[in-house]
Structure 1
Amino acid sequence: MTPPPSPGRSPFADPSVDRSATEISRLLAADEVTIVDVREPHERELSAIPGAMHMPIDRVASLADSLDWSRPVVFHCRLGWRAGMVATAFRAIGRDAVNLEGGIQAWVGAGYPVEPAGAAIADH
């Protein structure tokens, strides 16, 4: 029997799609990726990663064709659970998609900026 996942990790986690905040920051600075926030509107209103597009998770499938798939797409949410499932689904159909491991909480925890500066991160 497989042990349950740790409390901080999604049972659907796929390490092959996870990328650290440090790696994502470097890719964003080099303008090599598109970053997409899949959180709910009320979460996004409190804080956002600079430059991130907003595409609520319930609209991702219908808006997927609006993304620039000529470069990798990074999905993020609060903890990486929702975005990880989105990235895994897009990977399954051959898209270059990754997940910001640990979500915006890991981003802020690593010292990277959010807008507005010093903003709170919404509980889901």
Structure 2
Amino acid sequence: MKSISPADAHAVADAWILDVREDHELEQARVDDAHHIPLGTLVERLDEVPRDRTVYVMCHGGGRSAQATEYLSARGVDAVNISGGIMEWHRAGLPLTIGGTA
């Protein structure tokens, strides 16, 4: 499985970030341009994930995004896990929105 640090993912121009956290987690913190598909719905929403570009996958701490990355990779998607999830993104001081609704 390929992985990338939050800082390196953020540095990718026009990165397609997939956030696989649950809706209530987005209310706490989110990356504004990320695409949201909760892990539990990824199988039925697989067609929403692009196959013509790299997809950078994040969750809260890196576990669910690792599962999603493995699943997507097995289906021909160039998927990369964002190590440490949104917690590491926040610790790195990268832009995100705290609170509110998505």
Structure 2 length as normaliser, TM-score?
A: 0.90
Q: Distance in 1 between matches of 2:73 and 2:22?
A: 22
Q: Which has the larger radius of gyration?
A: 1
Match of 2:8 among 23, 34, 39: 23
Match of 2:17 among 6, 14, 35: 35
Considering Cα pairs closer than 8 Å and 6+ residues apart, tell me whether 1 or 2 has the greater RCO: 2
Identify unmatched segments of 5+ residues in structure 2: none
Deviations 1:6-43 (A, max 9, x none): xxxxxxxxxx321101110111xx11x31111111110
Q: Give 1:23's aligned amino acid.
A: D
Q: Distance in 1 between matches of 2:29 and 2:87?
A: 11
Contact preservation (8 Å) 2:58, 2:85 = yes
Contact preservation (8 Å) 1:17, 1:84 = no
Q: Give 1:114's aligned amino acid.
A: L
Match of 2:74 among 71, 92, 102: 92
Q: Which runs of 4+ in 1 moved over 4 A?
A: none
Q: Distance in 1 between matches of 2:73 and 2:39?
A: 16
Q: Give 1:17's aligned amino acid.
A: K
Structure number with the higher strand fraction is: 2
- Equivalent position of 2:86 in the other structure: 104
